[in-house]
Homo-oligomer: A and B are copies of this chain.
Amino acid sequence: MNTQPLYAQIAESIARRIRSGELAVGDQLPSERELSEELRVSRMTLRQALALLRDQGLIDGQHGRGNFVAGPRFEQPVDVLVGFTDNMIRRGVRPGARILSLQSKLADRAIARSLQVAVGEPIYCLHRLRLADDTPVALEHSYFPAQRCPNLYSFDLEKRSVYAVLAQEFGIKLGRARQSLEPTVARPDEAELLGVPEGAPLMLIERVSYDDQQRAVEYAKDLYRGDCFRFVSWSQPPSTS
């Protein structure tokens, strides 16, 4: 005999369908009426089951829009500079990268300003698709002053974290970074690379990372899948001094 309360049993039976793939990420669940008839429980019990699944992060309930199977949501801290690789490893997920391009270029105005170098200084542009357990979850555009990491292209940037390469190969100690977050939607080319529908929500993160001497060492524009990441931060009350 199952000693779990009925709503928890119902939640588990829905969770099984999700894990089995019968219900896939992004799928809409049947309506509450349909589900309660199908599972032969009251609407109240069903709602308790759905609330539990929401608490467990298995479904996203959007008021007035029904319930959807939620993708895995990785929490990425905003107030601590943790690279993609380290963040995935901490969460028990295998990080990966596919290099889409790695070019040597001369800095244009915007990049020169962000990296605090002269216009025309040589820089590396690294464009990578980032994978979590082989699923594409983010697109990175990163720019580095070539002078600080002269032969960056000779390291395996599909296997290694760039931050680890900067630290281990070039002795760069990362300090603070300034990040800006903006919601945006996937363009057709981005949608195709990330495996999401065109117009799907993405987080655009622009970042300038500094070394421990306050010199800019990375300028990045990253696009994260909105269905896979949420960005978390503790905020402090404004100082009154």
Contacts and interface: CB of A to CB of B under 8 A. Distances in A.
A176 interface: yes
A82 interface: yes
Given A55-B110, A78-B78, A234 B178 contact: yes
For the complex of A and B, list the 6 residue pairs with the smallest distance between their C-beta atoms, beginning with the closest.
A183-B183, A183-B201, A183-B226, A81-B235, A181-B231, A183-B203
Interface residues of A, number: 46
Interface in A62-97: 64-65, 75, 77-82, 86
B203 A184 contact: no
Interface of A: 51, 54-55, 64-65, 75, 77-82, 86, 108-110, 113, 174-185, 187, 189, 199, 201-203, 226, 229-238
A200 to B, nearest CB: 8
Contact of A79 (B201, B229, B230, B236): B236
